A and B are shown apart, each in its own frame.
Chain A
Amino acid sequence: MPGKLKVKIVAGRHLPVMDRASDLTDAFVEVKFGNTTFKTDVYLKSLNPQWNSEWFKFEVDDEDLQDEPLQITVLDHDTYSANDAIGKVYIDIDPLLYSEAATVISGWFPIYDTIHGIRGEINVVVKVDLFNDLNRFRQSSCGVKFFCTTSIPKCYRAVVIHGFVEELVVNEDPEYQWIDRIRTPRASNEARQRLISLMSGELQRKIGLKVLEMRGNAVVGYLQCFDLEGESGLVVRAIGTACTLDKLSSPAAFLPACNSPSKEMKESPFNEDPNPNPHSSGPSTPLKNQTYSFSPSKSYSRQSSSSDTDLSLTPKTGTGSGSAGKEGGPLKALLRQQTQSALEQREFPFLTLTAFPPGLLVHVGGVVSARSVKLLDRIHNPDEPETRDAWWAEIRQEIKSHAKALGCHAVVGYSESTSICEEVCILSASGTAAVLNPRFLQEGTVEGSLEQRIEENLPVGCGFCHIPYDELNMPFPAHLTYCYNCRKQKVPDVLFTTIDLPTDAVVVGKGCLIQARLCRLKKKAQAEANATAISNLLPFMEYEVHTQLMNKLKLKGMNALFGLRIQITVGENMLMGLASATGVYLAALPTPGGIQIAGKTPNDGSYEQHISHMQKKINDTIAKNKELYEINPPEVSEEIIGSPIPEPRQRSRLLRSQSESSDEVTELDLSHGKKDAFVLEIDDADAMEDVHSLLTDVPPPSGFYSCNTEIMPGINNWTSEIQMFTSVRVVRLSSLNLTNQALNKNFNGLCENLLKSLYFKLRSMTPCCLCHVNFTVSLPEDELIQVTVTAVAITFDKNQALQTTKAHAEKSLQRASADNEEMLQFPLELCSDSLPSHAFPAAKEHLESASSNSGTPAAQRAVTVEKASPMGDGNFRNRSAPPCASSTVGVVKMTPLSFIPGAKITKYLGIINMFFIRETTSLREEGGVSGFLHAFIAEVFAMVRAHVAALGGNAVVSYIMKQCVFMENPSKNQAQCLINVSGDAVVFVRESDLEVMSAQQPAVNCQPSCTGEVTT
């Protein structure tokens, strides 16, 4: 009997009126766990019942504790007929199962009904007593911590990063069971919610077991997804990175380490072996065409080429230690061996992390991706996971071989996704090929290796840009130069990655969100024919998305993309591609050339004029963008850099598609373009459209920046105001004359308008940056396009931004990266330490410290902006306060980022993973589709916040809305929506509060965490 679950039902409030006659409710509560149910007494005639129940005790296996949710049902007692359900609360008790997280769940939970939404609240207290279990063959994995955060969580230290873990479970979808024909929509929705909750628990437990097997104690970058396959089943799958984490506990280590908003430790870039690599060249393997993946500059495809790639990369990975002097020769050799074995052992050397402990990331090769089209109705054994396992294994194998081809032994920033339409399913995986420092990847390495600082011979934050592949045996044609930063190693001319910008990277100017958008019509077809049609379209889509990205990057005057995410969505009659990434100018990479336009018929005068007009527009845009994003790299003369690697021809030419005849290439004159220029050939209306669409992207209004990465390159003085939001749009395409161009235009307009709306709505927060902008496209019906965006707006201090970026730019080329990091990571710390009077007006500090004494959470009042704002406390100061204005509801912040600006995360309380279904049969009465979904999303936020508050937390970090499936049937006045969200519940403390506290009690370490908590 390894666990005892104890539940107490305290009270309810704001219950709905269930008895029309008395305008009251006779409520009671059923508490169910596994197969055991308890009931409270009926509290007669009240909308605010006080049950104050006894402790209901469930004695259960820890396996069940992990799998089962606690199910609380509130009902209205009816003497003569069946009791009516008011609603339910599902509580995931997983956070109570590991020692460092929450110890009790206690608070007000919204009572949720899938038909009526939230109907009042219920106050519940949950505790778990765990007994030690000595059974070696246990099926549970209690104690393994899960994090959605895709970096090593603050206040933890990575001892070992073990690697990739994945699991997948399948079940019949209750919505498609025969019984669904006779049960109510409510019963069906609840069956589904409960099943997914169970499956998530099971999945998490199984992944936990794998982690224990690997001798890890945590999963970082845990990403769980649902595939609603329809008839063939319901799949819940998850990937993550197994780690052994150590809690940072000593105050000395803890405080400075967690100061940084983005990273836990000061980073020391990895020492580069200054010697050029010995090359072991071999003939490159022939290209194969079944799979598609992207490299920094060209589309290519290739199978793993046996051992030669391994050979060529061995010296690099092996010598990757900066403390080479200390370790000496033999150890080095040993390390080299270990690396290979450590990585080779693993079936898939993938990490789901996007940001890394210092020194882990050595080189980045480029983006690798693979897609495959599958037919769901061909699964032999739909109830078993084998087929899907095999599918994913196949794709991962492909990714692995792509990485190998890039001279990389690992893939980082790895993610998987699906798009399903009827019986067709596209599986996608992508990541960034990389070379990693082996020291983190195995056990038994020198203790404290993470802390080891490498003082001597630091390359200035450019190491990761250096090519990991063999220059003479490049997997794709690329244009290499010597690194503009250290001048020792070769770098590509552009770099695409799926990871966050490494904190030590030297960046010129600011970054910006870059999107490529694409639609392709497809004939409606069945099964095999459909799959074939899609497969045939995919490479063209990928190619065009890539071309667009490249052009837009050039147009911005930038040379690298981070956080690249390409989503291909399949619908009945079209495919959509949406790629988002954050463009930056990396100082280590060469200055990008411009874009040249070339006409096809050079003798036509007016045409020529048109071309030159376009050319001028493009040049102007580039110049404007350079100014806007403050891209003014220092001039470097050619001699210093060394001549570029001689190449027979300029390879930077871009063709619209591969199918175009290649003989045109030679005709085209490149001489009029300057070096490195991209050439856009305008030979048909399509191409013209493309150029136009390039120019229609409007930059964000002044005061706004946007990116899809964690932090915005070039902005580093965040203030504490944050606003997370979700915006959803569904547009109906007119079915008349749908062409690819019209579609593209519509889609482009949709995305651009959405962004414009966001800028407008958040205008009172300026200067601010939209971070982690995450677009998701789905095609719910024939002519419907749904775009969902989740992001967070963070304010920053404009004046300081200017100062620091200047300082940063000046320093960046001379100083070692440690300093840069400080500039990047410790802006708030830095200013409050050295310039307290300047950075924070005394009054504000007073306000904040005062608020920590009173009952209200600090976060509620910590507003630094004077003017009215969406969060705006500013206005209120002059008003007379109504007597009862102090709310009892604590503020819970939500953010898709892994940190909270101006605050320190002191405790991780556990993972939040929630799935909700909402359905209505009175769509018009609820304000139409917009009213329905608006209310539902607000309710989802409320339920997430309530769960976090009940765990004792005051924020959710790494929040993500993984799914938002919306279906409507206006003629029947019906709609249904499924939403899946996840994130990490945390406790954070404002840095200003922390200073006050640490001044008072110098010895505190983790104690401050309690003071900032929410009172609920």
Chain B
Amino acid sequence: MTSELDIFVGNTTLIDEDVYRLWLDGYSVNDAVALRVRSGILEQTGATAGVLQSDTMDHYRTFHMLERLLHAPPKLLHQLIFQIPPSRQALLIERYYTFDEAFVREVLGKKLSKGTKKDLDDISTKTGITLKSCRRQFDNFKRVFKVVEEMRGSLVDNIQQHFLLSDRLARDYAAIVFFANNRFETGKKKLQYLSFGDFAFCAELMIQNWTLGAVDSQMDDMDVDLDKEFLQDLKELKVLVADKDLLDLHKSLVCTVLRGKLSVFSEMETNFKNLSRGLVNVAAKLTHNKDVRDLFVDLVEKFVEPCRSDHWPLSDVRLFLTQYSVSVHSLDGFRHQVLWDRYMGTLRGCLLRLYHD
């Protein structure tokens, strides 16, 4: 006796959270059944393996049918075929778009193209995430990117509106889209210590301050592209390190205030010019796309690593960066205060976040 057909359809669509997770994780029906058996569900419920197999198949079939709708979540809300309570709809969507930290670190800042898709095999092997799950996550990134890339208005709002994600998840996607669009390099070995959260934090600051949206809320792509004009202007900051008097004055201003307040004062004093040169040169280089991509590499190389090698405590880094930014206001010969604040305000936030082991 073999089962040809075996289905269960409820007026309210049954969603089993555990099976949904297994499905999202890309397990085959047989693997999922094995995993469920291992969870001890048979003992708890007195069911047989056959029952579990049939149940898992049913759920997989349902999820498969729902997947088309999950690609455009508002459709899930308006469709008539599956009657699902709103809370469950939200859960389905949220879980579907949730991604693995390990995976996102692999593709963050990479071009979401077919070429990258081929690399998914390697990523799967490297991270231990099933290829199926990698595909889903990658396709999610790509889908969200495609939909919001050329839209006007706030990036987070757009993502929320078109994908009905929670605030937290929408912000994460905004970071992913922003990174993908600007192709920031995140994969270098020296950046491995950084988590997705670190990058997402920086992305948010940069979106708020460095994009077109920061100055004009009625532009296309306003949150996705960096403000080109702003980047051009950043060259003007070069004077801070090129003009020796200005540099010395800046140093003395900072040192006067910080003397006795830093545990690493002498290291700071000796390194001041190098650090300042590093930070200002990063700004000046941002006119070139290639250098934009290397922003994080540069920040780590030019600032994080030197400080770390001198064992600056985080509190000292904070004090230094604050004073470093503020002191510029007292430099009489410097005319780009607003530009400096727009640059340094964001950079300070990023650097503090990036500064850890």
Known: A887-B78, A889-B77. A934 touches B65 (CB 8 A): yes
- In the complex, chain A residues 669-724 whose Cβ is within 8 Å of any chain B Cβ: 701, 723-724
Q: Is the CB of A883 within 8 A of B161?
A: yes
Query: Which chain B positions have C-beta within 8 A of A307?
Result: none
Query: Which chain A positions have C-beta within 8 A of B5?
Result: 728-730, 786, 929-930, 933, 966
Q: Mask for A1-36, Cβ within 8 A of B = 1, else 0?
A: 000000000000110000000000000000000000
A324 on the B face (CB < 8 A) = no
A734 to B2, CA, bound (A): 8
A545 to B80, CA, bound (A): 42
Give the residue of A763, A880, A934 whose beta carbon is less than 8 angstroms from that of B167: A880
Q: Is the CB of B7 within 8 A of A872?
A: no
Known: A14-B78, A725-B11, A757-B51. A945 touches B161 (CB 8 A): no
Query: Which chain B positions have C-beta within 8 A of A937?
Result: 7, 9
Query: Which chain B positions have C-beta within 8 A of A701?
Result: 45-46
Q: In the complex, how many residues of chain B place their beta carbon closer than 8 angstroms to a beta carbon of chain A?
A: 56
Known: A731-B1, A885-B90, A942-B80. A934 touches B9 (CB 8 A): yes
- In the complex, chain B residues 66-115 whose Cβ is within 8 Å of any chain A Cβ: 74-75, 77-83, 85-91, 93-94
Q: Mask for A715-749, Cβ within 8 A of B = 1, else 0?
A: 00000000111111111111000000000001001
Minimum distance in angstroms from A916 CB to a CB of chain B: 13
Minimum distance in angstroms from B111 CB to a CB of chain A: 24
Q: Mask for A950-968, Cβ within 8 A of B = 1, else 0?
A: 0000000000000000101
A799 to B43, CA, bound (A): 25
Q: Mask for B23-34, Cβ within 8 A of A = 1, else 0?
A: 000000000000
Q: Is the CB of A933 within 8 A of B7?
A: yes
Q: Which chain A residue shows the least CB distance to B3?
A: A731
Give the residue of B13, B48, B55, B164 whose beta carbon is less than 8 angstroms from that of A882: B164
A927 on the B face (CB < 8 A) = yes
Query: Which chain B positions have C-beta within 8 A of A894?
Result: 11
Q: Mask for A852-869, Cβ within 8 A of B = 1, else 0?
A: 000010001001000010
Query: Which chain A positions have C-beta within 8 A of B74?
Result: 884
Query: Which chain A positions have C-beta within 8 A of B78?
Result: 13-14, 887-889
Query: Which chain B positions have C-beta within 8 A of A13?
Result: 78
Q: Mask for A395-414, Cβ within 8 A of B = 1, else 0?
A: 00000000000000000000
Q: Mask for A915-954, Cβ within 8 A of B = 1, else 0?
A: 0000000000001011101110111011001100000000
A891 on the B face (CB < 8 A) = yes
**Which residue among B57, B77, B93 has the maximum number of chain A CB atoms within 10 Å of its CB?**
B77
Query: Which chain A positions have C-beta within 8 A of B2?
Result: 731-732, 734
Known: A14-B78, A875-B91, A941-B83. A725 touches B8 (CB 8 A): yes
**Which residue among B17, B46, B61, B86 has the maximum number of chain A CB atoms within 10 Å of its CB?**
B86
Q: Is the CB of B93 within 8 A of A756?
A: no
Minimum distance in angstroms from B59 CB to a CB of chain A: 9
Minimum distance in angstroms from A451 CB to a CB of chain B: 36
A12 to B135, CA, bound (A): 33
Q: Is the CB of A723 within 8 A of B11?
A: yes
Give the residue of B52, B75, B77, B93 whose beta carbon is less than 8 angstroms from that of A888: B77
Q: Which chain A residue shows the least CB distance to B76?
A: A887
Q: Which chain B residue shows the least CB distance to A873?
A: B87
Query: Which chain B positions have C-beta within 8 A of A927?
Result: 61, 64
Q: Is the CB of A728 within 8 A of B90?
A: no
A760 on the B face (CB < 8 A) = yes
Q: Is the CB of B6 within 8 A of A930?
A: yes
Q: Is the CB of B9 within 8 A of A725?
A: yes
B307 on the A face (CB < 8 A) = no
Q: Is the CB of A879 within 8 A of B87?
A: yes
Query: Which chain B positions have C-beta within 8 A of A536?
Result: none
Minimum distance in angstroms from A258 CB to a CB of chain B: 23
Q: Is the CB of B48 within 8 A of A946?
A: no
A750 on the B face (CB < 8 A) = yes
A14 to B75, CA, bound (A): 8
Minimum distance in angstroms from B43 CB to a CB of chain A: 12
Give the residue of A727, A734, A871, A886 whose beta carbon is less than 8 angstroms from that of B9: A727
Q: Is the CB of A884 within 8 A of B45?
A: no
Minimum distance in angstroms from B75 CB to a CB of chain A: 7
Q: Is the CB of A930 within 8 A of B7?
A: yes
Minimum distance in angstroms from B153 CB to a CB of chain A: 14
B160 on the A face (CB < 8 A) = yes
**Which residue among A701, A888, A891, A893 has the maximum number of chain B CB atoms within 10 Å of its CB?**
A891
Q: Which chain B residue shows the least CB distance to A975?
A: B5
Q: Is the CB of B3 within 8 A of A729?
A: yes
A784 on the B face (CB < 8 A) = yes
Minimum distance in angstroms from A724 CB to a CB of chain B: 4
Known: A760-B55, A870-B12, A938-B65. A882 touches B165 (CB 8 A): yes
Known: A870-B14, A885-B89, A929-B4. A939 touches B81 (CB 8 A): yes
A753 on the B face (CB < 8 A) = yes
Q: Which chain B residue shows the least CB distance to A944?
A: B11
A570 to B312, CA, bound (A): 87
Known: A760-B51, A880-B167. A887 touches B77 (CB 8 A): yes
B40 on the A face (CB < 8 A) = no
Query: Which chain B positions have C-beta within 8 A of A872?
Result: 85, 87-88
Query: Which chain A positions have C-beta within 8 A of B260?
Result: none
Minimum distance in angstroms from B142 CB to a CB of chain A: 18
Q: Is the CB of B81 within 8 A of A942?
A: yes
Known: A757-B51, A871-B12, A882-B166. A727 touches B7 (CB 8 A): yes
Q: Mask for A884-915, Cβ within 8 A of B = 1, else 0?
A: 11111101111000000000000000000000
Q: Is the CB of A763 within 8 A of B45?
A: yes
Query: Which chain A positions have C-beta within 8 A of B9?
Result: 725-727, 934, 937-938, 941
Query: Which chain A positions have C-beta within 8 A of B15?
Result: 870
Known: A860-B85, A876-B91, A888-B78. A868 touches B17 (CB 8 A): yes
Query: Which chain B positions have C-beta within 8 A of A888?
Result: 77-78
Query: Which chain B positions have C-beta within 8 A of A756?
Result: 47-48, 51
A62 on the B face (CB < 8 A) = no
Q: Is the CB of A941 within 8 A of B6?
A: no
**Which residue among A110, A749, A934 has the maximum number of chain B CB atoms within 10 Å of its CB?**
A934
Q: Is the CB of B1 within 8 A of A732?
A: yes
Query: Which chain A positions have C-beta within 8 A of B14?
Result: 723, 761, 870
- In the complex, chain A residues 772-813 whose Cβ is within 8 Å of any chain B Cβ: 784, 786
Q: Mask for A171-212, Cβ within 8 A of B = 1, else 0?
A: 000000000000000000000000000000000000000000
A13 to B77, CA, bound (A): 13
Q: Is the CB of B83 within 8 A of A757?
A: no
Q: Which chain B residue shows the least CB distance to A108?
A: B80
A648 to B166, CA, bound (A): 80
A760 to B19, CA, bound (A): 14
Query: Which chain B positions have C-beta within 8 A of A941?
Result: 9, 11, 83
Minimum distance in angstroms from A887 CB to a CB of chain B: 5
**Which residue among A108, A726, A757 has the maximum number of chain B CB atoms within 10 Å of its CB?**
A757
Q: Is the CB of A723 within 8 A of B80?
A: no
A883 to B93, CA, bound (A): 13
Minimum distance in angstroms from B54 CB to a CB of chain A: 5
Q: Mask for A222-250, Cβ within 8 A of B = 1, else 0?
A: 00000000000000000000000000000
Q: Which chain A residue shows the least CB distance to B50?
A: A753
A118 on the B face (CB < 8 A) = yes
Query: Which chain B positions have C-beta within 8 A of A108?
Result: 80
Q: Which chain B residue shows the least CB distance to A698?
A: B46
Query: Which chain B positions have C-beta within 8 A of A640?
Result: none
Query: Which chain B positions have C-beta within 8 A of A728?
Result: 5-7
A-B contacts, 28 of them at CB < 8 A, read: A108-B80, A723-B12, A725-B11, A726-B9, A727-B7, A730-B4, A730-B6, A749-B1, A756-B47, A756-B48, A757-B54, A758-B8, A759-B47, A761-B58, A784-B4, A870-B12, A873-B85, A882-B160, A884-B160, A884-B161, A885-B90, A886-B86, A887-B78, A889-B79, A889-B83, A933-B5, A934-B58, A942-B81
Closest 10 CB pairs of A and B: A876-B87, A730-B5, A725-B10, A724-B11, A937-B9, A730-B4, A894-B11, A934-B7, A929-B5, A727-B8
